């Protein structure tokens, strides 16, 4: 039967036209009567490998194994999307490359990450990795400019940022094979989306510059608080001062410093006005009657991180 099937050179979906499944003998026999049209369960492009495998099975003649389907003219590919491209069943990602190329002329890195995620979700590029490699530098510029993160840390940051956008569209970066094996994304995947968002907050140059501008008293407070943070000790500090004496200025410098070192700084306030003044602050509701019960408006998961 193998020989006959090979001589017919039919595709996987054409197979039932020529053969019937004999359930009692658990084998295929040559069809002697009746007609049948082979069908393969549909798969949407967003299903990734499954979609490409289906495409290949409707085209490749006489496939003998998954490996065989992924091999063309002696070239072995690692995955079905690549094989589909190699066999010429799909066009290249030129239009998506052109889109990102053009956008990179006037879009900020953060916006580029969002656009990249949108393309992944809605235009299903054949080779997301090739697109990522081509535009990784553009999307990394904000973090690279800080000059404090290693290349690998920057990559994680940008991938986290992209993952945040993907999750807001109901997807996850793990579906796109973008995370290099050298990077452990397990911790990141286990975190909540809100925490990832906290970690990817862009720090303003003004706030970073504020560190060098602190006056003597501010510097003193900055040093004491920073030391406590970086030695991983708990602490509570009360900053008092008349209006306009630079308390908020100090908070902004502290937040910028902590966030720029790839630590998470969760800024919480108890009033809406303060929330609008501090960068990326969250409104905190303190229930004093029941002692230390915290609730962060719209960010309940973050509440667990408040010590």
Binding site for ligand ATP (CB under 6 A): 213-215, 218, 241, 243-249
Q: Least distance from C-beta 131 to ligand ATP, angstroms?
A: 42
Q: Toward ligand ATP, which CB reaches closer, 86 or 278?
A: 278
Q: Toward ligand ATP, which CB reaches closer, 99 or 274?
A: 274
Q: Crossing angle, helix 247-260 and helix 216-230, to 10 degrees?
A: 40
Q: Toward ligand ATP, which CB reaches closer, 151 or 213?
A: 213
Q: Toward ligand ATP, which CB reaches closer, 181 or 243?
A: 243
Question: Can you tell me the distance from the alpha carbon of 273 to that of 275, in angstroms, rounded to the nearest whole number?
Answer: 5
Q: Least distance from C-beta 247 to ligand ATP, angstroms?
A: 3
Question: Can you tell me the distance from the alpha carbon of 270 to that of 141, in angstroms, rounded to the nearest whole number?
Answer: 34
Candidates 192, 210, 204, 187; CA nearest to 280 is 204
Task: Give Cβ neighbours of residue 124 (< 8 Å, ≥ 6 apart).
Answer: 45, 46
Question: Can you tell me the distance from the alpha carbon of 132 to that of 97, in angstroms, rounded to the nearest whole number?
Answer: 10
Q: Toward ligand ATP, which CB reaches closer, 213 or 300?
A: 213
Q: Toward ligand ATP, which CB reaches closer, 120 or 211?
A: 211
Q: Which segments within the chain are labelled E, that is strand? A: 19-22, 27-30, 71-72, 75-76, 268-269, 282-287, 293-296
Q: Least distance from C-beta 255 to ligand ATP, angstroms?
A: 13
Q: Least distance from C-beta 225 to ligand ATP, angstroms?
A: 15
Q: Least distance from C-beta 226 to ligand ATP, angstroms?
A: 16
Q: Toward ligand ATP, which CB reaches closer, 13 or 245?
A: 245
Distances (CA, A) of 268 to 24, 195, 221, 277: 69, 14, 19, 11
Q: Least distance from C-beta 236 to ligand ATP, angstroms?
A: 19
Q: Toward ligand ATP, which CB reaches closer, 228 or 247?
A: 247
Candidates 15, 20, 22; CA nearest to 32 is 20
CB atoms within 10 A of CB 289: 6
Q: Least distance from C-beta 134 to ligand ATP, angstroms?
A: 41
Task: Give Cβ neighbours of residue 69 (< 8 Å, ≥ 6 apart).
Answer: 53, 56, 57, 60, 63, 80, 83
Q: Least distance from C-beta 207 to ligand ATP, angstroms?
A: 10
Quickly tell me which residue has 């569209």 as its tokens. 169
């Amino acid at each position: 039967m193998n020989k006959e099937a090979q001589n017919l050179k039919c595709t996987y979906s054409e197979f039932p036209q020529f053969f019937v499944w004999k359930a009692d003998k658990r084998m295929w026999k040559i069809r002697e009567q009746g007609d049948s049209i082979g069908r393969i369960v549909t798969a949407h492009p967003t299903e990734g490998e499954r979609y490409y495998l289906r495409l290949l099975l409707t085209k490749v003649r006489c496939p003998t194994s998954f490996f065989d389907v992924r091999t063309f003219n002696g070239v072995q590919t690692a995955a079905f999307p690549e094989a589909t491209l190699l066999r010429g069943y799909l066009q290249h990602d030129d239009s998506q490359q052109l889109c990102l190329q053009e956008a990179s002329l006037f879009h900020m890195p953060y916006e580029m990450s969002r656009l990249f995620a949108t393309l992944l979700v809605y235009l299903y590029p054949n080779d997301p990795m090739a697109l990522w490699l081509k535009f990784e530098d553009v999307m990394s510029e904000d973090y690279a400019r800080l000059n404090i993160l290693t290349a690998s840390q920057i990559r994680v940051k940008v991938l986290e940022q992209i993952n945040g956008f993907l999750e807001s569209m109901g997807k996850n970066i793990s579906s796109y094979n973008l995370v290099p094996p050298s990077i452990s994304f397990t911790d990141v995947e286990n975190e909540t989306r809100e925490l990832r968002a906290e970690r990817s907050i862009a720090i303003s140059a003004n706030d970073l510059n504020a560190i060098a501008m602190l006056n003597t008293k501010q510097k003193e407070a900055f040093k004491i608080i920073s030391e406590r943070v970086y030695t991983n000790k708990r602490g509570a500090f009360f900053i008092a001062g008349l209006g306009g004496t630079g308390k908020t200025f100090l908070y902004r410098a502290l937040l910028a410093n902590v966030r720029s070192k790839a630590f998470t700084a969760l800024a919480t306030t108890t009033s809406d006005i303060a929330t609008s003044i501090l960068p990326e602050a969250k409104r905190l509701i303190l229930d004093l009657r029941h002692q230390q019960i915290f609730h962060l408006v719209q960010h309940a998961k973050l509440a667990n991180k408040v010590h």
